[in-house]
Amino acid sequence: MGVRNNVSWCSMVVAYAQNGAEEEAFLVYLGARRAGEEPTDFMVSSVLTTCAGLLGLDLGRALHAVAVRSCIDSNIFVASALVDMYGKCGGIKDAEQVFFEMPQRNLVTWNAMIGGYAHIGDAHNALSVFDKMIMGQETTPNYITLVNVLTACSRGGLTKEGYELFQTMKLRFGIEPRIEHYACVVDLLCRAGMEERAYEIIQGMPMRPSISVWGALLGGCKMHGKTELGRIAAEKLFELDPQDSGNHVLLSNMLASAGRWAETTDVRKEMKNVGIKKDPGRSWITWKNVVHVFQAKDTTHDMNREIQALLAKLKGQMQAAGYMPDTQYALYSCCGNLMVCQCFMLWKTLHKIAAVNR
């Protein structure tokens, strides 16, 4: 393209962001700035979305400063994107400050703030903002609003409030429960140890239960040792996505924690026979404006020697302090009838990686 303008740059940012290519979107934004393009409300709000996807709080704050310098921070689209970004990146206090200082709010803004509270499991504040939203009568909640509120109730332990909202959402707001709402209420009930009630709701669903619905039930059964019901959920998941290693691993771990070693071995053998491999776990942090990605058992990071040394030191200190890892839900590997627990992986958490890079 011979000549680029603000519209073409913004179009590329949005295209990348909407297709999940957050890093590429951010690089396009940097290219636009180097080319002399001034940040617009549309461009900044689009790039803020990429920061939320990258969990880049420092990047988001830098963009916030750009918005302030460009006098577009009070724009409702930019401000809403800021609330969304801060909420998803863990900067809930920053999200609150932007939200409560906004002269006016739209549905996206309200949803972003409620979603931010849901992200950290702050159900009480999520419900408080939701109540203010519906009492103001200026904004009508949509299905996303209710997904966020139900998620907050689930993560925050407000089972009664969340279940009542699910039961009355059609009557109060004219919103028919969608598959996302069913997944939320199943998760809500399972976290409270009510897996049988959750299964009853699944059986009465007017649509075919999705992977997220059965996954929520399986997760709850694993958490509370409901092995037989968990098997039902797992079989449904295998039908919907036979190549997903996570469901097989979850089932095998649930069986292992119940001491059903032979069945655990059978699940692992089945995975091997059909060629299903578990994807390695990944985590990432932002340090000095660089996103560092870490993968289980990967030793290619530039600071790997320092990381491994600190992990070994932390392990020794934890053991000296009397810490014993809870291996009930650790991954199990099979070697004949021998179940070898990968205990050391329990220490390799994101927080310890972050400690290396401070």
| 3-class secondary structure, 333 | strand
CATH number of the domain encompassing residue 24: 1.25.40.10
Is residue 289 within 8 Å of 58, Cβ to Cβ? yes
Number of domains in the chain: 2
Residues 6 or more apart whose Cβ sits within 8 Å of residue 129: 110, 113, 114, 117
Query: Does some domain include residue 342?
Result: yes
pLDDT at 168: 96
Single out the residue in 44, 77, 102 at which a domain terminates: 102
The 10 Å Cβ neighbour count of residue 117 is: 27
Residues 6 or more apart whose Cβ sits within 8 Å of residue 20: 53
pLDDT at 171: 96
Is residue 69 within 8 Å of 40, Cβ to Cβ? no
Angle at 36 between CA 35 and CA 38, to 5 degrees: 130
Sign of CA dihedral 256, 262, 263, 265: positive
pLDDT in tens, 15-68: 887 777 777 888 888 888 888 888 888 888 888 877 776 657 888 888 899 999
For 231, counting Cβ atoms within 10 Å of its Cβ (0-12 exposed, 13-18 middle, 19+ buried), the class is: middle
Residue 222 CA to residue 250 CA, distance in Å, equals 7
Query: Does some domain include residue 76?
Result: yes
pLDDT at 231: 86
Query: Does some domain include residue 17?
Result: yes
pLDDT in tens, 231-283: 898 888 878 777 666 666 666 677 666 566 666 666 666 656 555 555 566 67
Residues 6 or more apart whose Cβ sits within 8 Å of residue 38: 6, 70
Q: Which two tokens stand for residue 30?
A: 């940097």
Q: Which domain holds residue 76?
A: 1-102
Query: Does some domain include residue 73?
Result: yes
Single out the residue in 102, 121, 143 at which a domain terminates: 102
E strands present in 209-322 = 282-287, 290-295
Integer-rounded Cα Rg, in Å, for the chain is 23
Is residue 116 within 8 Å of 88, Cβ to Cβ? yes
Residue 252 CA to residue 229 CA, distance in Å, equals 14
pLDDT tens-digit profile, the chain (358 residues) = 556 777 888 888 888 877 777 778 888 888 888 888 888 888 888 888 777 766 578 888 888 999 999 888 989 999 999 999 999 988 999 999 999 999 899 999 999 999 999 999 999 999 999 999 999 767 899 999 999 999 999 999 999 999 999 999 999 999 999 999 999 999 999 999 999 999 999 999 999 999 899 989 988 998 888 888 988 988 888 787 776 666 666 666 776 665 666 666 666 666 565 555 555 666 766 666 666 777 766 777 777 888 888 888 888 888 888 876 655 545 444 443 333 333 343 444 434 444 444 4
pTM for the predicted model, two decimal places: 0.74
The 10 Å Cβ neighbour count of residue 286 is: 19
Query: Does some domain include residue 297?
Result: yes
Q: Which of 235, 246, 195 is nearest to 216 (CA)?
A: 195
pLDDT at 228: 86
Query: Does some domain include residue 269?
Result: no
Residue 249 CA to residue 213 CA, distance in Å, equals 17
DSSP designation for 89: T
Q: How far is CA 8 from the centre of its chain?
A: 31
Single out the residue in 46, 67, 102 at which a domain terminates: 102
Residues in the chain, total: 358
Query: Does some domain include residue 323?
Result: yes
Query: Does some domain include residue 77?
Result: yes
pLDDT at 107: 95
As a 3-state breakdown, the chain gives helix, strand, coil percent values, each rounded to 5, of 65, 5, 30
Distances (CA, A) of 105 to 80, 126, 230, 256: 8, 16, 43, 50
